[in-house]
Amino acid sequence: MTRSLDERSQKQRMLAGELYIADDPELAADNRRISAWMDRYNATQTLSQPERQALLEAMFARVGAGCNIRPPFHCDYGYNISLGRGVFMNHNCCILDVVQVSIGDLTQIGPGVQILTADHPRNPAQRRQMLEFGRPVTIGANVWIGGGAILLPGVTVGDDAIIGAGSVVTRDVPAGGVAVGNPARLRDAPGERSP
> What amino acid is encoded at 146 in this protein?
G
**Phi-psi sector, 74: left (phi>0), alpha (psi -120 to 50), beta:** beta
State the virtual CA torsion across 29, 35, 40, 42 in degrees, nearest 10. 160
Examine the residue annotation and report whether 91 is marked as an active-site residue of this protein. Answer: no
Beta carbons of 126 and 90 less than 8 angstroms apart: no
Contacts of 159 (CB under 8 A, 6+ apart): 104, 140, 141, 142, 143, 175, 176
Contacts of 131 (CB under 8 A, 6+ apart): 19, 20, 21, 120, 121
- Give me the catalytic one of 8, 11, 70, 120: 120
Rounded CA-CA distance 123/106 in Å is 39
State the virtual CA torsion across 89, 91, 92, 94 in degrees, nearest 10. 10
Write out the catalytic residue numbers. Answer: 120
